[in-house]
Amino acid sequence: MAIQTNGTFTYNSGVYTTPYFRIVLHLPQSGDETPVDCFMYASQDDYTNGNGHIACIPVYVSNTDAVETNDGSNVVNKYLQYITEKVVTRLREISSDSTFTIVGIPTL
């Protein structure tokens, strides 16, 4: 699962142009929230070529509003879509002027 920034992204006093984010979910300890590591790369090519990430942003996604079924109308896994949307919400809180596109989630 991945997120592409469509412009600039401001993080820790740095401004990055079109960074690419890969997210890694971890098993929830209690089931209440899912811990997610959101790795920021300079570009999708940097990720593909195995270059190191710029930062790892931890995100904790509440499962309170998570979907009850995994049947997606346009995605293979509705829960992964839910988690990714919540990570985008967190990224918008960090850099409010940024816009994002969710990429890398298999679609039907």
pLDDT, one tens digit per residue, over 41-55 is: 999 999 999 999 999
- Classify residue 66 as exposed, middle or buried by CB count within 10 Å of its CB (0-12, 13-18, 19+): middle
H helix or E strand, kind and range, residue 5: strand 2-5
The C-alpha atoms of residue 2 and residue 81 are separated, in whole angstroms, by: 10
- Choice between 108 and 61, residue whose per-residue pLDDT is larger: 61
What pTM did the predictor assign? 0.88
**Residue 75 pLDDT more than 70?**
no
Q: Answer yes or no: are the C-beta atoms of 90 and 59 closer than 8 Å.
A: yes
Mean pLDDT of 69-94: 81
Among the ranges given (18-22, 46-50, 58-62, 79-83), the one the predictor scored with the smallest mean pLDDT: 79-83
Average per-residue pLDDT in the chain? 89
d(CA 87, CA 35): 10
Instruction: Tell me the DSSP string of 10-76.
Output: EETTEEEES-EEEEEE---SSSSEEEEEEEEES-HHHHHTTPPPSEEEEEEEESTT--S----SSBS
- CA dist 17 and 99 (Å) reads 12
